[in-house]
Structure 1
Amino acid sequence: MTQSLIQIGSTGLNAAQYGLSVTGNNIANASTTGYSREVVDYSESTGQNFGAGYLGSGVNVVTVQRQYAEYLNQQLNAAVAQGGMLTTYNSSAEQLNDIVSDPTAGITTSLTTLASGLSTVANSPSDTSARAAALGDINSLTTQFNEVTQEFNSVRSDINTELTGAVSQINTLSSQIASLNKQIVTAEASSGQPANQLLDQRDAAVNQLAQLVGATTTDNADGSINVTIGNGQSLVNGQYSYNLTTVASSSNSSELDIAYQVTNSAGVTSTIPISESVLTSGTVGGLFQFRSQTLDPQQRALGNIAVTLATTMNEQNEAGVTLTGAQGSALFDVTQPTVTAATANTGGATITATYGGSTLSSLTGDNYTLTYEGGGNYSLQDTTTGGAPVTVSATADTSGTGSSINVDGLQIAISTDPAVGDSFQIQSDTTEAGSTLSVAITDGSDIAAGSPQATATTGTTNTGTGTITVTSPPAQYYPTGAMMQGTVTATVNATGTLDFAQTTTGDALPDVTVTVNGVATTYSPPTNVPVTAGATYNVGGVTFTMSGTPATGDTFTLTASAAAPSDNTNALQLANLFNETTIGSQTYSGAYSAFVGAIGDAESTSNTASQAQTTLISQVTQAQQSVSGVNLDEEAENMMTYEQMYQANSKVIQAASTIFDAIIGIDT
């Protein structure tokens, strides 16, 4: 019986020592990240029958148990994954917003300055200093477009660097988790007890992985776990991990995507890309979403502004006359779209594309696939957005030698009908348009402030009452490449229609366009052109109207000449472009303000969401720590309890020893 009492006291001392050790370890790790509080799990030892009943034989230490709630850990991992995404998105958006948001500098100021400079030229078209200042303003605006676009590219480069760093960390953590899986399986199989410290380390690694790329775990029967990312892509499978790497994006070689790095049995390593659309969590998700939702589309928006501004200003300057009396030329050099025919094409069509035309204000800056369906109809698919194909129809050229399509700010020229099924890739992405934009003129005198002049006269031998009136100066030059010179004569023939002829040069006469009630009809060659009351006529860029009733044989002469140095009509048109809605329903400045506002909205929205997620993470962490965290007050109470337990069990052993000594004394 005495021996039994000593045994009971000994088990109690052992239990108290376990309790003190575990409590001390809890206190020591109170501030250790990822540590889960531990408690000793006790059970009563099997009793022994002494005839008068079963007497207890002490206490057993069953195990040291982690205080851990799987569902709370999963919630925390999900919360930090979303937090990592939002924080990264917001940080990148703030960086981009800082680049464009200064209202006193950059493109906003340059647009205002150039508009003012062109107005000054319009007020003094012969003033060479005003022209030189305006040229300086054109250079300044171009430089601003270059610099802002380069800043965007710098942000893109930073994203590439961050992705590379994140992938390196992901690989390290994946390998660590797989190694911990192996250690846990071995330790628990040999001891039959949970490997608490290793389990804490694994949970901490999974949490870090969640912050980087989001992570979902599943338990295996042997104590290991599997880790997946995205839509179930495996990262850790038990004791094995898979390496990720970065590869150049197939849609943009300046951007990086993430891929599996796989080595086969022959030692050949290949990569299997993972779509960025499925990696939406953690730092990686934040980088991808910022890039696809803000950086790329907004840089294209900036490029669209650059292209539209340059194209419209080029067209207007080309419609004017320089200070030296020459035809105006382009003010800006703009990189034009490229068209690549599919290698499987069987037809002989040649297709080219340029920015401009009646749909320029709807420029998207996207890439397209154009496929011929037959009958002059084409299927056009936006490959940048991945939208459904739309059917567009080609319009036959007036020359009869080809056709054209004007859509989404593109003028697509087609030499001849392709074979049905032939397709062409149109690379019209304007992402880099701001960086490649340059100034095409070198002297202020090249600003075409004036307009070609045209006068109309009635033949002196006319017998009818018809007269013509020039309603606007030429909008373009005729013949191509030189200012319209000499005269063009319209003669009323016997059928009562007009025949046009170039009378002083050997150049061929261009088409004549007649517009009646808004409907334009082109005549080529320009003979038998009907005389219609209320119609307007355009030949060689000169627009005129006819009134009265002309008689057969009557003639009307159009004479074009160079503008005077004091002519400011085209300079006024150039300056007025800054007030016109050339980009969608917005002016140049309005479109740029909307561009800046969109970036500001992205920064503001992501900031609000990030702050809300930070609050949620704090709440989930508190819930998780209420189970797994160390409470020092509680541990202090446990320490006192185990101290008293140790002392009390020592007394039990002491009492058993005293009884044993007394029994020995009786025997002697």
Structure 2
Amino acid sequence: MNLFTIAAQGAQAAQNQLSVSAGNIANQQTAGYSRQAITQTSSVVSNLGNGVKTSDASRITDQTLNQALWHTQSAVGYYQSLNSWGTSLEKVISSSTTQPSTLLTSFFNSVSALTTQPDSTAYRQQLISSATSLANGLSQTSQNLADQQTSIGQQQQSTLVQVNQLSSQIADLNQQISRLGAGAESNSLQDQRDQQVKTLSGLIAISVEKSDTGSYTLTTQGATLVAGNQAAVISSSTDTEGNVQLQSRMGQTSSTLSTAMGGQLGALYDYQQQVLSPLQTRVTGLMHSVSEQVNNTLASGYDLQGEQGKALFTVSTDSAGVARLATTDLTPAQLGLSLDKTTPANGGNLTTLSGLQTTSGFTEQATAITSQLALANSQSSNQLAVATAVNQQWQQQRDNLSAVNKDEEAVNLQTYLQSYQANMKVMSVGNQLFSELLTLFS
């Protein structure tokens, strides 16, 4: 009987719609989930009425929106990493015990105090103590920079491992999706793959192309990262000059990559090359300047015994290659503060020593260490804010299309339930008519 067939198809269609809507609601909080929908089309049952049939559930997505979201995700990852490492270092360097400009000011304050009583053992000892604090502070800053270099190197390797793992996982998902086809069975896998691509794009800048079979091809700097079920492996090495070399290998094909990778990994290399290493050079340079100019000034004077002044500072490099500034075992009496060896207490050399604060470039060098880092952090913070805002806009556009709207799904549930009930009513009517028809022939 056509009435039963039409109603059964209608009830089944409504039930399918209810199942899809229920699945959407269940996955409302699932990261990367794209809501699903099915379409209904009329099916001819007889010349007296049409039934209905439904398609497989399909994902509601827009690849253009996804591409834009992934692109901006790389920018967010890049500036987030830059800002995180930079602000962490700035907090350490700006500490009162390690800030170069503060330590230099304290040292020259001790020099100024001696001008009132050049032969004072207490004031001379205070100068040596300030010199020791300066040396310790600069050495600690040097160590902090070296420690961050080590941490950066470890993070680079860790991020490379993540990149390779994600690439491999995306290749595996490509294979599964291609095997299942673009039907409902692969919807969950496609969501997983898009989420993996989003995570990967936060680590490095990538380009994504989707084939007719639904497989993704990923490239970075023109080199293929993922193609079908194959994934490249990126490795790093260091040349004799300490420069990082990156290589991508897929099968027998290898490509040399620039460290300008974008994303978090690119930020690690850029921060290391453009911020951290120059800071190390500045700190080491300041150590040598302080040591050479202060020592030369003291050597031009005489101590309390009328002997030529001795060195106060020494610069060395430890076994790990970290520059160190230290004070010698100079006693207060051995400071060469006099310009007349017959009058050891005249303190004439203090004027020259004190003048180093303005003539030596110490202050400029010390200020440049903190200001360079502060400027870099300010720039990365501003750029992060812009990148985040743009990324959020694309995320919102993607969510407007693909994310689950609980209010919309609630309305859908009510609509499909009413449709199901109406079709069941039709079946009930059909059953009643059939019973009455049987009665006529009984």
Report if TM-score (shorter chain) is over 0.5.
yes
Amino acid corresponding to residue 244 of structure 1 in structure 2: I
Change (3 A) 1:613 1:151: same
Residue aligned with 1:34, SS: coil
CA contact (8 A) 1:73 1:624 kept: yes
2:62 is the alignment partner of 1:69: yes
Check if 1:571 corresponds to 2:350: yes
CA distance in 1, matches of 2:18, 2:378: 52
1:218 alignment counterpart: 209
Q: Which residue number in structure 2 is paired with residue 599 of structure 1? A: 373
1:381-436 superposed Cα distances (whole Å, 9 cap, x missing partner):
xxxxxxxxxxxxxxxxxxxxxxxxxxxxxxxxxxxxxxxxxxxxxxxxxx977x32
Aligned with 2:268 (options 282, 287, 292): 287
> How far off is 1:43 after superposition?
1.7
Does the alignment pair 1:84 with 2:77?
yes
Matched residue, 2:172: 179
Map 1:243-392; keep pairs closer than 5 Å: 243-248=233-238, 251-252=241-242, 258-260=246-248, 274-276=257-259, 278-281=260-263, 283-334=264-315
Tell me the distance in 2 between the aligned counterparts of 1:215 and 1:250: 30
Name the SS for the 2:56 alignment partner: strand
Are residue 34 (structure 1) and residue 15 (structure 2) matched? Answer: no
Question: Larger deviation: 562-571 or 132-141?
Answer: 562-571
Q: Which residue of 2 aligns with 1:447?
A: 335
- Choose the corresponding residue for 1:633, options 383, 400, 407: 407
One-letter code aligned to 1:161? Q
Q: Which amino acid aligns with 1:209?
A: L
Offset of 1:252 from its aligned partner?
A: 3.4
Q: In the TM superposition, what is the alpha-carbon distance from 1:295 to its structure 2 partner?
A: 1.9
Instruction: Note if 1:9 corresponds to 2:2.
Output: no
2:43 aligns with 45
Alignment root-mean-square deviation, CA: 2.8
* Residue aligned with 1:252, SS: coil
Q: In 2, Cα distance between the equivalents of 1:569 and 1:233?
A: 68
Task: Quote how far apart the aligned CAs of 1:232 are.
Answer: 2.4
Distance 1:575 1:201, change over 3 A: same
User: Any conservation in 2 of the 1:449–1:572 contact (CA below 8 Å)?
Assistant: no
Of the three residues 241, 247, 253, the one matched with 2:231 is 241
Q: Percent identity?
A: 28
Q: Equivalent residue of 2:53, what SS?
A: strand
Distance change >3 Å, CA 56–CA 163, structure 1 → 2? farther
C-alpha change, 1:9 and 1:238, in structure 2 (3 Å) is: same
Q: How does 1:464-483 map to 2 (within 5 A)?
A: none
Aligned residues: 440
Instruction: Work out whether 1:437 is the aligned partner of 2:437.
Output: no
For 2:200 and 2:136, locate their aligned partners in 1 and report how far apart those are by CA, in whole Å: 43
Distance 2:94 2:139 in 1: 16
Task: Give the corresponding residue for 2:397.
Answer: 623
Pairing partner for 1:204 from 177, 195, 198: 195
Q: 1:335 to 1:233 in 2, by over 3 A?
A: farther
CA contact (8 A) 1:111 1:141 kept: yes
**What CA deviation, in whole Å up to 9, does each residue of 1:426-468 have, x standing for no partner?**
xxxxx977x32233453333322233x6xxxxxxxxxxxxxxx
- State the secondary structure of the residue aligned to 2:426: helix
The structure-2 alpha-carbon separation of the partners of 1:106 and 1:568, relative to structure 1 and needing over 3 Å to count, comes to same
Superposition deviation, residue 24 in structure 1:
0.5
3-state DSSP class of the match of 1:82? helix
Task: State the AA in 1 paired with 2:271.
Answer: F
Distance in 2, Cα, partners of 1:240 & 1:640: 46
- 1:400-411 to 2 correspondences below 5 Å: none
Could you say if the C-alpha distance between residues 78 and 314 of structure 1 is closer, same or farther in structure 2, counting changes exceeding 3 Å? same
For residue 88 of structure 1, report the CA deviation from its aligned partner. Answer: 1.7
More strand by share: 1
**Contact 2:37–2:59 at 8 Å: present in 1 too?**
yes
Contact 1:121–1:449 (CA under 8 A) maintained in structure 2: no
Q: Which AA in structure 2 matches 1:108?
A: S
| Other structure's SS at 1:334 match | strand
SS in structure 2 at match of 1:625: helix
- Give the CA deviation at 1:564: 3.2
Candidates 129, 133, 146, aligned match of 1:136: 129
SS in 1 for 2:57: strand
* Whole-angstrom CA distance in 1 between matches of 2:48 and 2:334: 113
Q: Tell me which residue corresponds to 1:374.
A: none
Q: Counterpart of 1:207 in structure 2: which amino acid?
A: K
Question: What secondary structure does 1:437 align onto?
Answer: strand
Equivalents in 2 of 1:126, 1:651: separation in Å? 111
Match of 1:23 in 2: 21
Contact 1:149–1:432 (Cα < 8 Å) also in 2: no
Distance in structure 1 (CA, Å) of the matches to 2:88 and 2:298: 37
Q: Distance in 2 between matches of 1:320 and 1:330?
A: 11
TM-score, normalised by the number of residues in structure 2: 0.90
Structure 1 residues 319, 637: CA separation in 2 closer, same or farther (over 3 Å shift)? Answer: same
**1-side partners of 2:102 and 2:170: how far apart?**
54
Consecutive unaligned residues of structure 1, counting only runs of 5 or more, are 49-53, 266-270, 337-430, 454-561
Query: Match of 1:58, SS?
Result: strand
Question: After superposition, what is the alpha-carbon deviation per residue over 1:543-567, rounded to whole angstroms, capped at 9, x for unaligned?
Answer: xxxxxxxxxxxxxxxxxxx553234
Contact 2:291–2:315 (Cα < 8 Å) also in 1:
yes
Q: Which amino acid is 2:30 matched to?
A: T
Question: CA 1:105/1:172 → structure 2, altered by over 3 Å: closer, same or farther?
Answer: closer
The CA distance in 1 between the partners of 2:246 and 2:31, in whole Å, is 30
Give TM-score scaled by structure 1 length.
Answer: 0.61
The AA in structure 1 aligned to 2:335 is I
Letter aligned with residue 35 of structure 1: Y
Greater Rg, structure 1 or structure 2? 1
Distance in 1 between the 2:249 and 2:280 partners? 31
Structure 2 counterparts to residues 579-590 of structure 1, below 5 A: 579-580=358-359, 582-583=360-361, 588-590=362-364
Alpha-carbon distance in 2 for matches of 1:233, 1:634:
43
Matched, 1:170 2:149: no
The one-letter amino acid paired with 2:16 is Y
Q: Which has the higher helix share?
A: 2
211 and 295 in structure 1: CA distance in 2 versus 1, 3 angstrom threshold: same
Q: 2:395 and 2:162 mapped to 1: Cα distance?
A: 23
* Structure 2: distance between partners of 1:260 and 1:447: 60
Please state how far the C-alpha of 1:663 moved relative to its aligned partner.
3.7
Secondary structure of the 1:163 match is helix
Structure of greater relative contact order (alpha carbons < 8 Å, 6+ residues apart): 2
Where structure 2 has 5 or more consecutive residues not aligned to the other structure, the ranges are: none
Whether the 8 Å contact between 2:5 and 2:45 is mirrored in structure 1 is no
- Residue 436 of structure 1 aligns to a residue whose secondary structure is strand
Where does residue 557 of structure 1 map in the other structure? none
Indicate the larger mover: 72-81 or 127-136.
127-136
Name the residue aligned to 1:518.
none
Structure 2 CA distance for aligned equivalents of residues 327 and 572 of structure 1: 17
Separation in 1, partners of 2:242, 2:218: 30
